[in-house]
């Protein structure tokens, strides 16, 4: 059964491939990115698939998010996928953390996913599948942290995992399942050329998780291969 999926950060990487794979399966895809005119590959998908619709959205611009929600007020959304994110500066050692960058990454990776859920939860609750998911990262797992460092990106993903857990509790009575998902180390602009997993394989695994989930799996943290990750 197909449906409607809203995906953020669709101009490249995971979001672009997620748009492609869902569109291939006949889903209506509401594909969001910050700069639609500059997203040539995404616009090519819109031309190829009549059920792909493009929307300009900076996930940290909450007025823009609210305006988009108003334009989609009567649109059920089966899957709401917060894919947009920011890594911030790489290779920053203890004692060298840029606090302004930390705040910026927290805004994008932690606060914005919450606002997306708050803004569109009625659309999700009115759908058949009722699924929300946030692309997190295994580096946000406290249990998995044996290397230290990574203060900016790591803490933003640990914090958004807590957002997922609270959403799973608060939206349970509306029948909404909420997941945190780790895509693996993927060959994207963020993951770099030395990454181990193709974007196609990562998205295929994530998509299976999104389609197979239910309330019994809500509030959990999953790797793209279906294995559960400790908080």
Look at residue 194 and give its three-state secondary structure.
coil
Q: What's the CATH code, domain 4-223?
A: 3.40.50.720
Question: In the chain, pLDDT over 90 holds for what percent of residues?
Answer: 92
Quote the pLDDT of residue 50. 95
Q: What is the pLDDT of residues 158-173, one digit of tens each?
A: 999 999 999 999 999 9
Distance of CA 2 to the CA centre of its chain: 19
Q: Tell me the C-alpha distance between 3 and 13, whole Å.
A: 22
Quote the pLDDT of residue 61. 98
Residue 54: band (very low, low, confident or very high) from pLDDT cuts 50, 70, 90:
very high
Residue 172 in contact with residue 157, Cβ under 8 Å? no
How does the average pLDDT of the chain come out, rounded? 96
Look at residue 211 and give its three-state secondary structure.
helix
Dig out the tokens for 28 from the structure.
């209506």
Q: What is the pLDDT of residues 181-195, one digit of tens each?
A: 999 989 777 667 777
Residue 22 in contact with residue 80, Cβ under 8 Å? no
DSSP one-letter code for 110: I
Q: Could you tell me the sign of the dihedral formed by the alpha carbons of 11, 17, 22, 26, in that order?
A: positive
Quote the pLDDT of residue 5. 98
For residue 222, what are the β-bridge partners? 181, 228
Quote the pLDDT of residue 79. 98
Q: What is the pLDDT of residues 129-164, one digit of tens each?
A: 999 999 999 999 999 999 999 999 999 999 999 999
Mean pLDDT, residues 195-221: 96
Q: Is the pTM of this model over 0.85?
A: yes
Residue 199: band (very low, low, confident or very high) from pLDDT cuts 50, 70, 90:
very high
Burial class (CB in 10 A: 0-12, 13-18, 19+), 91: exposed
Say which residue the tokens 């803490």 belong to.
Answer: 155
Res 177 pLDDT > 80: yes
Mean pLDDT, residues 48-72: 98
Quote the pLDDT of residue 229. 98
Q: What is the pLDDT of residues 89-135, one digit of tens each?
A: 988 889 999 999 999 999 999 999 999 999 999 999 999 999 999 99
Quote the pLDDT of residue 156. 98
The residues spanned by each domain of the chain are 4-223
Quote the pLDDT of residue 195. 73
Of residues 199 and 191, more confidence is placed in: 199
């Amino acid at each position: 059964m197909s449906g409607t999926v809203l995906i953020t950060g669709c101009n490249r990487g995971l979001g672009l491939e997620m748009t492609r794979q869902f569109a291939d399966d006949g889903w209506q895809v509401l594909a969001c990115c910050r700069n639609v005119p500059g997203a040539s590959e995404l616009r090519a998908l819109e031309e190829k698939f009549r059920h792909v619709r493009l929307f300009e959205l900076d996930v940290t611009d909450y007025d823009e998010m609210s305006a988009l929600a108003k334009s989609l007020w009567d649109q059920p959304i089966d899957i709401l996928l917060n894919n947009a994110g920011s890594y911030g500066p790489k290779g920053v050692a203890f004692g060298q953390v840029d606090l302004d960058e930390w705040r910026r990454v927290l805004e994008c990776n932690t606060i914005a996913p919450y606002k997306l859920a708050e803004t569109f939860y009625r659309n999700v609750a009115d759908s058949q599948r009722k699924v929300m998911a946030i692309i997190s990262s295994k580096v946000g797992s406290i249990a998995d942290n044996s290397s230290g460092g990574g203060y900016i990106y790591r803490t933003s993903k640990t914090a958004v995992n807590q957002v997922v857990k609270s959403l799973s509790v608060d939206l349970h009575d509306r029948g909404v399942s909420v997941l945190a998902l780790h895509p693996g180390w993927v060959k994207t602009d963020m993951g770099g050329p030395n990454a181990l997993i193709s974007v196609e394989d990562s998205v295929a695994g994530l998509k299976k998780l999104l389609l197979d989930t239910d309330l019994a799996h809500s509030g959990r943290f999953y790797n793209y291969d279906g294995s559960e990750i400790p908080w």
